[in-house]
C-alpha cells in the first residue's frame, strides 16, 4: 500500500515537469510582450534599451532551457522567484491567497453535498412523482445556466434588489486572509453550489435508482427489511462511491480557484490571482499557479483512488496501469 | 441417404428461422408485455429525439441565418437611444451605445453556437482518433499518448486558454483551439477503452481471416461499434462547451469587441447590473435557452441510443429526461 | 500421395508475461492435414489446441517452427501475404454470435471475404445467400442481425462464411461448445457433409473425444502443449495407449452415461 502511494506521488514529477515546461514554453513564445506590458504598467517610457535592460535584469535574455532549469532549481529549493508585477516573493504571495480559495472550496462542497444528497435520494425514492419532476427540472435548469450568469443574477437579486448581501465579497482594500468577508462568502458559495448541486443531484438519483433495482434489494424487501434501512445500509455505499468520483473532479476545479467566480465577486483567492497574473504577464506567478495545479491533480486523484479502495476493497489499487 | 438428412435439417432450420426472425428484438421466452413496453419506450424515445432535434435545428438555423433575422444592424450605434429598457421597438432594450440588444443577441448566436459545434466536432474527432490508435496499437505509443493526456488534464484550462490568447491573440478560433487542447483527453480515454473492449472480440479475428486490412478493421468494424457512446458524449458536451466558451469570452478572451458574443456582451455590461440589468440578463437568457435545447437533445440522443444509461426501476419507468 | 494442405513442423508458442515467468502454450508440435481429411485435435483446457488454431490461421505469430499452407511458408508472413491467406484457410469460431460484427447483417458477414477479393456487391451477396442456403438457412436470413437468430443458425452462417473463399483448409475451433446438445449434433452433421462434398481438409478442435468419433479420420491428443498420442480415430478411440487419452475417453463416456 505504502509502495503504491509512493509510486503515485512520484508520478507528480513527470507531470510537474511536463506542464511547467509546457507553460514556460508558451510564456516564452509570448516573449517580449511581457516586458513591454510590464514596463508600460510601471509607467516607464518604453524604448529598446529599457526593454533590453529589463530583460537582462529579469534574466529573460538567456536561452530557454537555461531559464527553465534555473527556475526548476529554484522550485526545488523552495524559491519561486519574485513577481514581475509587485516584486514580492511569489511563494509568499501565492500562499497568502490560498486560504481564501480553500475556504470557498470547503463551503461550496459542504453546501453542495447538503443540498444534492437529500435531493437526489428523495428524487429517487419518489420516482416520477411531482417532487421528482420538480427536482429534475431544477437540476436541469441549474446545469444549463453558466456560472457567471448565476453569479450576476444572484448579485442582482440579493445585493442590488434586496440589499441583503454585499456586492463585492472582499473586505475592500485588504488582501489575502484579511480580505475574507463572511457575509461576502454567501453569494460565491451559492453560485458554485448551484452549479455543482445540479450535476450531483442527477448522478446521485441515477445511482440510487440503479441500486434500488438490483435483486438484492428485492430480496431485502421480501425479508421485511424497512426501506430506510435498505437505503442507509446498502444503497448509501454506492452513493458514497459516486460522491467520491464527483468530488474528485470538483475539488480539482475548486482548488484551482474558480477564476470566473472569484473575479466577479473580487474574492481574493488563487483563481483571481491567476487571471490577474496572466493579464499582467506575471510569469513567475503563473508558473507557481501551474505547479499548484499539478500538485492538486496528483493529490486529488490519489486520494480518490485510496478512498475507492477503502469503500470497496474489491477495487484493486493501480487499476488500469 | 445424405440428401434426406439435408432436407430434414433444412426444413427444421427454416421453421426455427421463422420464429426467431419474426419476434424482432426480443430474446427467447419473450414476455409479450415486455416486448410491447420496450417498443413503446423506444417510440417515445424516438419522438423525443425528433422534437429536440427539430428545436436544435431551429437554433442552428437562427445562427446560420442570423444577419438576415436582425431587425436592426447589430453594430449600428445610436447614442440618443442608449440604455433603453425593453420596449415594443427594442424587444430586449439597447446597450450603452444604443445598439439593439436583440439583434446583437441574434448575431451573437453565430459565435456561440457555430464555434461550439466546431469545438465539439474537433475534440470528438481528434480525441477518438488518438484513443483508437492507442487502444489498437497499445505498447509505447499508448503509454506516451496517455501520459501526454495526463499532462493536458492536469493543466489548468484557464491558463492554457489565456496563454494561447497571449501567444496567438484573442478571437474565437483561438479560444476554440485552447479548449480543444485540454478537452480531447476525455474522448481519447473513452475511445481507447471502447477499442480495447472490441479488440478481444472474435468478429475482428473473423474479419481478418476474411482478408481485411488493419485500416478496414478499424474503419469498417471498430469505429461503427464504438460510435454510439462517443456520439452520446459529444452531444451531452455541447451544452458544457458552449458555457465554457462563453466563460472565456466573459473573461476577455474569445470574441473581441465590437463582435457580438453572448459571454463578452455580459462582461462588457457588468457595471450596468444595477442601472440597466437587461443588458446582462438578455444575453444570459439567450445562453440559457440555447444550452438547454442542446442539453435536451443530448439527453434524447442518449436515451435513444443506449437506454441502459437511464436510471430506472422495474423496467416500466420513464427515462432520465429533463 | 498428395501434398498435405497444411504441414506444421516443430511449432512452438511462448507467451511472455510482465513480471512473471513465460508460458509455453505450444511446445514443438508437428502434424499435417491432407485434402479430404478431417483431423481432430483433442485436449483439455490449457492443452494448447486453441493456440494452434490461432497460429495456423496466423491470428497469432509462432515463436518458432514452421507452418506450410498450400505449399507456402506462412510462419512469419505479414501484410499482403497475411491477407492472401484468406483464400487458403478459414475458421469457424467457438462463439457464433460474437464472431459476427453486431452492426452488420449475417449476409454482409458471409459476403465480406468475397468483397475483399474484388467481387461486386450484388454478386457477392447472391453467392452469400446461396452458401447460407447450402448450410441449411433460408435466404432471407441474410438480412438478419446476429442477435436476431439462434446460436445454431449463427453457426451455420459462420460455416457459410468459411466456405465463401473456397479455401482448401477449414479450422473449426470448438464450433459446438457454445451450443445445446441437439444443435451440436446438427452442426457436426453439417460440417461432415460439407467436408465430404467439397473434399476439404479440416482441422476439428474440441475437448470432447466422443464428438470426434465418427467424424474425424485421424485424431491428435494434446496435453500441456504437446501431442501425446496420434493415429486413426477408430484405433485411438478403441485402444488408447496414453493415460491422458484414456482419461479423456472416460470423461466422455461418463458424460454420455449421465445424459442417458
Tell which of C56, C131, C136 to mutate to test the B interface (max B CBs under 10 Å): C136
Q: What is the mean pLDDT of residues C131-149?
A: 92
| Pairwise CA distance, residues B175 & B254, whole Å | 5
Chains C and A touch (3+ CB pairs under 8 A): no
How close does chain B come to C111, measured CA to CA in Å? 9
Report the run of H or E that residue B74 belongs to, with start and end.
none
Tell which of C53, C137, C148 to mutate to test the B interface (max B CBs under 10 Å): C148
* pLDDT tier for residue B234 given thresholds of 50, 70 and 90: very high
- B5 has pLDDT over 60: no
Q: What is the mean pLDDT of residues C92-114?
A: 93
**Which tens digits make up the pLDDT trace of A213-235?**
888 888 888 888 777 777 777 78
**Which tens digits make up the pLDDT trace of A182-193?**
778 888 999 999
Q: What percent of chain A has pLDDT over 90?
A: 15
For position C156, what pLDDT does the model report? 95
Confirm if B232 and B242 have CB atoms less than 8 A apart: no
For position A37, what pLDDT does the model report? 64
Half-sphere exposure of residue B34: CA atoms within 13 angstroms, side-chain side = 11
- A194 has pLDDT over 90: yes
Q: Could you tell me if residue A8 is inside a domain? A: no
How close does chain B come to A57, measured CA to CA in Å? 22
Long-range contacts of C191-194 (CB under 8 A, 24+ apart): C191/C92, C191/C159, C191/C215, C192/C38, C193/B2, C193/B5, C193/B6, C194/C135, C194/C159, C194/C163, C194/C170
Under an 8 A CB cutoff, do C141 and B21 touch? yes
- C207 has pLDDT over 80: yes
**Which tens digits make up the pLDDT trace of B160-214?**
776 676 667 678 888 898 889 888 998 999 999 999 989 889 999 999 999 898 8
Q: Could you tell me if residue A64 is inside a domain? A: no
Query: CA nearest B5 in C: which residue?
Result: C189
Q: What percent of chain B has pLDDT over 70?
A: 81
Q: What is the mean pLDDT of residues C179-203?
A: 91
Query: CA nearest B6 in C: which residue?
Result: C136
C95 near B CB under 8 A: yes
Tell which of B250, B291, B311 to mutate to test the A interface (max A CBs under 10 Å): B311
Complex-level ipTM = 0.88
Q: What percent of chain C has pLDDT over 70?
A: 97
Under an 8 A CB cutoff, do A144 and B239 touch? yes
Under an 8 A CB cutoff, do B251 and A133 touch? no
- A81 has pLDDT over 80: no
Q: Count interface pairs A-B at CB distance under 8 A.
A: 143
For position B41, what pLDDT does the model report? 78
Under an 8 A CB cutoff, do A286 and B159 touch? yes
Q: What is the mean pLDDT of residues C175-198?
A: 91
Query: CA nearest A199 in B: which residue?
Result: B240
With contacts defined as CB-CB under 8 Å, which chain B residues touch A192?
A: none
With contacts defined as CB-CB under 8 Å, which chain B residues touch A294?
A: 154
How close does chain B come to C110, measured CA to CA in Å? 9
More confident residue, C2 or B290: B290
Under an 8 A CB cutoff, do B252 and A127 touch? no
Neighbours of chain B (3+ CB pairs under 8 A): A, C
Q: Count interface pairs B-C at CB distance under 8 A.
A: 102
What would the grid cell of residue C212 be? 470426434
As a three-state string, the secondary structure of C15-38 is EEECCEEEEEEEEEEEEEECCCCE
Number of residues assigned to chain C: 260
| The Cα angle at residue C119 between residues C113 and C120, in degrees rounded to 5 | 120
Under an 8 A CB cutoff, do C98 and B201 touch? yes
For position B37, what pLDDT does the model report? 76
Pairing of strands C38-42, C201-206: parallel
* pLDDT tier for residue C29 given thresholds of 50, 70 and 90: very high
Name residues 44-83 of chain C within 8 A of B (Cβ).
Answer: 57, 59, 83
How close does chain C come to B9, measured CA to CA in Å? 6
What would the grid cell of residue B219 be? 474503419
With contacts defined as CB-CB under 8 Å, which chain A residues touch B156?
A: 256, 274, 289-290, 293
CATH number of the domain within which A250 lies: 1.10.3720.10
- B31 has pLDDT over 90: no
C103 near B CB under 8 A: yes
C22 near B CB under 8 A: no
B163 near A CB under 8 A: yes
Output the CA torsion sign for B237, B243, B246, B251.
negative
**Across chain C, what does the average pLDDT equal?**
89
Into how many domains does chain A fold? 1
What would the grid cell of residue C260 be? 442417458
| φ/ψ (deg, to 5) at A26 | -70, -40
Under an 8 A CB cutoff, do C153 and B13 touch? yes
B186 near A CB under 8 A: no
Q: Could you tell me if residue A163 is inside a domain? A: yes
- B132 has pLDDT over 90: yes
Q: Could you tell me if residue A63 is inside a domain? A: no
For position C210, what pLDDT does the model report? 77
Tell which of B211, B213, B218 to mutate to test the C interface (max C CBs under 10 Å): B211
| Pairwise CA distance, residues A10 & A78, whole Å | 18
For position A170, what pLDDT does the model report? 60
Of A14, A146, A278, which has the smallest distance from its Cβ to B246's Cβ? Answer: A146
* pLDDT tier for residue B11 given thresholds of 50, 70 and 90: very low
| Pairwise CA distance, residues B18 & B286, whole Å | 54
Q: Could you tell me the domains of chain B?
A: 56-72+89-321 (1.10.3720.10)
| Pairwise CA distance, residues B35 & B51, whole Å | 24
What would the grid cell of residue B154 be? 492536469
| Pairwise CA distance, residues C63 & C44, whole Å | 22
Confirm if A300 and A252 have CB atoms less than 8 A apart: yes
For position B78, what pLDDT does the model report? 80
C98 near B CB under 8 A: yes
More confident residue, A166 or B16: A166
| Beta-bridge partner residues of C31 | C8
Q: What percent of chain C has pLDDT over 90?
A: 52
- A6 has pLDDT over 70: yes
Q: What is the mean pLDDT of residues A51-72?
A: 74
**Across chain B, what does the average pLDDT equal?**
79
Under an 8 A CB cutoff, do B201 and C149 touch? no
Q: What is the mean pLDDT of residues C8-14?
A: 91
Under an 8 A CB cutoff, do B252 and A279 touch? yes
Q: Which of B245, B156, B169, B246 shows the shortest CA–CA distance to A273?
A: B156
C84 near B CB under 8 A: yes
B306 near A CB under 8 A: no
How close does chain A come to B193, measured CA to CA in Å? 10
B222 near C CB under 8 A: no
Neighbours of chain C (3+ CB pairs under 8 A): B
- B18 has pLDDT over 60: no
Q: Could you tell me if residue A15 is inside a domain? A: no
For position A173, what pLDDT does the model report? 58
Confirm if C194 and C162 have CB atoms less than 8 A apart: no
* pLDDT tier for residue B7 given thresholds of 50, 70 and 90: very low
B211 near C CB under 8 A: yes
Under an 8 A CB cutoff, do A152 and B318 touch? no
Q: What is the mean pLDDT of residues C20-43?
A: 90
For position B1, what pLDDT does the model report? 30
Alpha carbon dihedral A292, A298, A304, A309, in 10-degree steps, equals: -150
Specify burial of residue C91 (Cβ count, 10 A radius: 0-12, 13-18, 19+): buried
| Pairwise CA distance, residues C5 & C34, whole Å | 5
**Which tens digits make up the pLDDT trace of A247-258?**
888 887 788 768
* pLDDT tier for residue A171 given thresholds of 50, 70 and 90: low
**Which tens digits make up the pLDDT trace of A92-109?**
888 888 888 889 999 999
By residue range, what is the domain housing residue A119? 95-311
Under an 8 A CB cutoff, do C113 and B209 touch? yes
| Pairwise CA distance, residues B93 & B86, whole Å | 4
* pLDDT tier for residue A321 given thresholds of 50, 70 and 90: very low
For position A64, what pLDDT does the model report? 74
For position B314, what pLDDT does the model report? 28
The owner of cell 463416456 is: C253
- A31 has pLDDT over 60: no
**Which tens digits make up the pLDDT trace of B235-284?**
999 999 999 889 888 888 777 777 888 988 898 888 888 888 888 999 99
Output the CA torsion sign for A259, A260, A261, A264.
positive
* pLDDT tier for residue C88 given thresholds of 50, 70 and 90: very high
User: What superfamily does domain C1-88+169-178+202-260 belong to in CATH?
Assistant: P-loop containing nucleotide triphosphate hydrolases (3.40.50.300)
With contacts defined as CB-CB under 8 Å, which chain A residues touch B196?
A: none
B238 near A CB under 8 A: no
Confirm if C6 and C32 have CB atoms less than 8 A apart: yes
- C257 has pLDDT over 70: no
Confirm if B205 and B197 have CB atoms less than 8 A apart: no
Output the CA torsion sign for C77, C83, C86, C91.
positive
Confirm if C176 and C92 have CB atoms less than 8 A apart: no
With contacts defined as CB-CB under 8 Å, which chain C residues touch B24?
A: 148
| Pairwise CA distance, residues C58 & A77, whole Å | 57
| The Cα angle at residue A109 between residues A107 and A112, in degrees rounded to 5 | 105
Amino acid at each position: 500500500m505504502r509502495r503504491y502511494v509512493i509510486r503515485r506521488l512520484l508520478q507528480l514529477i513527470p507531470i510537474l515537469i511536463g506542464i511547467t515546461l509546457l507553460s514556460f514554453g508558451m510564456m516564452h513564445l509570448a516573449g517580449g510582450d511581457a516586458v513591454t506590458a510590464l514596463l508600460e504598467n510601471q509607467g516607464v517610457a518604453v524604448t529598446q534599451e529599457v526593454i533590453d535592460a529589463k530583460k537582462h535584469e529579469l534574466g529573460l535574455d538567456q536561452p530557454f532551457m537555461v531559464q527553465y532549469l534555473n527556475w526548476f532549481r529554484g522550485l526545488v529549493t523552495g524559491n519561486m522567484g519574485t513577481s514581475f508585477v509587485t516584486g514580492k516573493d511569489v511563494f509568499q504571495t501565492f500562499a497568502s491567497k490560498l486560504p481564501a480559495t480553500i475556504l470557498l472550496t470547503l463551503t461550496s462542497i459542504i453546501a453542495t453535498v447538503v443540498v444534492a444528497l437529500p435531493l437526489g435520494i428523495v428524487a429517487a425514492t419518489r420516482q416520477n412523482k411531482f417532487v421528482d419532476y420538480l427536482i429534475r427540472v431544477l437540476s436541469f435548469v441549474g446545469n444549463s445556466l453558466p456560472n457567471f450568469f448565476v453569479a450576476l443574477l444572484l448579485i442582482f437579486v440579493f445585493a442590488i434588489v434586496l440589499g441583503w448581501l454585499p456586492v463585492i465579497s472582499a473586505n475592500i482594500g485588504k488582501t489575502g486572509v484579511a480580505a475574507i468577508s463572511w457575509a461576502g462568502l454567501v453569494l460565491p458559495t451559492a453560485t458554485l453550489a448551484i452549479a455543482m448541486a445540479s450535476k450531483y443531484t442527477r448522478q446521485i438519483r441515477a445511482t440510487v435508482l440503479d441500486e434500488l433495482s438490483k435483486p438484492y434489494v428485492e430480496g431485502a424487501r421480501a425479508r421485511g427489511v424497512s426501506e430506510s434501512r435498505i437505503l442507509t445500509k446498502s444503497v448509501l455505499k454506492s452513493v458514497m462511491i459516486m460522491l467520491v468520483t464527483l468530488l474528485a473532479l470538483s475539488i480539482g476545479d475548486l482548488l484551482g480557484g474558480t477564476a470566473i467566480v472569484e473575479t466577479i465577486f473580487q474574492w481574493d483567492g488563487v483563481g483571481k490571482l491567476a487571471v490577474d497574473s496572466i493579464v499582467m504577464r506575471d510569469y513567475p506567478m503563473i508558473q507557481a499557479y501551474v505547479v499548484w495545479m499539478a500538485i492538486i491533480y496528483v493529490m486529488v486523484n490519489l486520494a480518490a483512488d485510496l478512498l475507492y479502495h477503502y469503500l470497496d476493497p474489491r477495487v484493486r489499487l493501480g487499476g488500469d496501469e | 441417404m445424405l440428401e434426406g438428412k439435408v432436407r430434414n435439417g433444412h426444413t427444421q432450420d427454416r421453421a426455427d428461422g421463422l420464429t426467431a426472425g419474426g419476434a424482432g428484438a426480443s430474446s427467447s421466452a419473450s414476455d409479450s408485455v415486455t416486448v410491447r413496453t420496450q417498443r413503446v419506450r423506444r417510440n417515445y424515445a424516438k419522438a423525443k429525439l425528433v422534437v429536440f432535434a427539430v428545436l436544435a435545428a431551429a437554433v442552428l438555423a437562427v445562427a446560420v441565418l442570423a444577419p438576415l433575422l436582425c431587425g436592426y444592424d447589430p453594430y449600428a450605434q445610436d447614442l440618443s437611444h442608449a440604455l433603453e429598457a425593453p420596449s415594443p421597438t427594442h424587444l430586449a432594450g439597447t446597450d450603452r451605445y444604443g445598439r439593439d440588444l436583440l439583434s446583437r443577441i441574434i448575431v451573437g448566436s453565430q459565435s456561440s453556437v457555430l464555434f461550439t459545434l466546431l469545438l465539439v466536432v474537433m475534440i470528438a474527432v481528434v480525441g477518438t482518433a488518438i484513443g483508437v490508435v492507442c487502444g489498437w496499437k497499445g505498447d509505447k505509443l499508448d503509454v506516451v499518448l496517455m501520459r501526454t493526456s495526463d499532462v493536458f488534464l492536469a493543466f489548468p484550462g484557464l491558463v492554457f486558454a489565456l496563454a494561447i490568447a497571449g501567444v496567438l491573440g484573442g478571437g474565437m478560433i483561438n479560444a476554440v483551439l485552447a479548449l480543444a487542447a485540454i478537452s480531447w483527453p476525455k474522448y481519447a480515454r473513452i475511445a481507447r477503452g471502447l477499442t480495447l473492449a472490441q479488440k478481444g472480440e472474435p468478429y475482428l479475428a473473423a474479419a481478418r481471416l476474411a482478408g481485411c486490412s488493419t485500416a478496414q478493421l478499424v474503419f469498417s468494424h471498430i469505429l461503427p461499434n464504438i460510435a454510439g457512446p462517443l456520439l452520446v458524449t459529444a452531444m451531452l458536451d455541447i451544452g458544457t462547451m458552449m458555457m465554457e466558451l462563453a466563460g472565456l469570452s466573459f473573461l476577455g478572451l474569445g470574441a473581441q469587441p465590437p463582435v457580438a458574443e453572448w459571454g463578452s456582451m455580459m462582461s462588457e455590461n457588468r457595471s450596468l447590473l444595477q442601472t440597466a440589468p437587461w443588458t446582462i440578463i438578455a444575453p444570459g437568457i439567450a445562453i440559457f435557452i440555447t444550452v438547454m435545447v442542446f442539453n435536451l437533445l443530448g439527453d434524447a440522443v442518449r436515451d435513444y441510443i443506449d437506454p441502459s444509461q437511464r436510471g430506472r426501476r422495474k423496467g416500466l419507468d420513464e427515462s432520465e429526461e429533463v | 500421395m498428395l501434398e498435405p494442405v497444411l504441414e506444421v513442423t516443430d511449432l512452438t508458442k511462448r507467451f511472455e508475461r510482465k513480471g512473471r515467468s513465460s508460458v509455453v502454450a505450444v511446445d514443438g508440435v508437428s502434424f499435417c492435414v491432407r485434402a479430404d481429411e478431417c483431423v481432430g485435435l483433442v485436449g483439455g483446457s490449457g492443452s494448447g489446441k486453441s493456440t494452434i488454431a490461432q497460429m495456423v490461421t496466423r491470428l497469432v505469430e509462432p515463436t518458432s517452427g514452421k507452418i506450410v499452407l498450400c505449399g507456402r511458408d506462412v510462419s512469419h508472413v505479414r501484410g499482403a501475404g497475411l491477407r492472401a491467406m484468406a483464400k487458403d484457410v478459414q475458421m469457424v469460431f467457438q462463439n457464433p454470435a460474437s464472431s459476427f460484427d453486431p452492426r452488420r447483417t449475417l449476409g454482409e458477414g458471409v459476403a465480406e471475404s468475397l468483397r475483399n477479393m474484388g467481387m461486386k456487391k450484388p454478386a457477392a451477396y447472391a453467392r452469400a445467400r446461396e452458401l447460407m442456403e447450402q448450410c441449411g438457412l433460408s435466404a432471407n436470413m441474410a438480412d438478419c442481425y446476429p442477435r436476431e437468430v439462434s446460436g445454431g443458425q449463427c453457426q451455420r452462417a459462420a460455416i457459410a462464411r468459411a466456405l465463401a473463399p473456397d479455401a482448401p483448409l477449414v479450422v473449426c475451433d470448438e464450433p459446438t461448445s457454445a451450443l445445446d446438445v441437439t444443435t451440436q449434433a446438427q452442426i457436426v452433421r453439417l460440417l461432415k457433409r460439407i467436408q465430404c462434398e467439397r473434399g476439404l481438409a479440416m482441422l476439428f478442435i474440441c475437448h470432447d473425444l466422443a464428438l470426434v468419433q465418427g467424424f474425424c479420420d485421424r485424431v491428435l491428443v494434446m496435453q500441456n502443449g504437446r501431442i501425446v498420442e496420434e493415429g486413426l480415430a477408430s484405433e485411438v478411440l478403441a485402444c488408447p495407449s496414453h493415460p491422458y487419452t484414456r482419461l479423456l475417453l472416460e470423461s466422455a463416456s461418463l458424460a454420455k452415461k449421465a445424459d442417458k
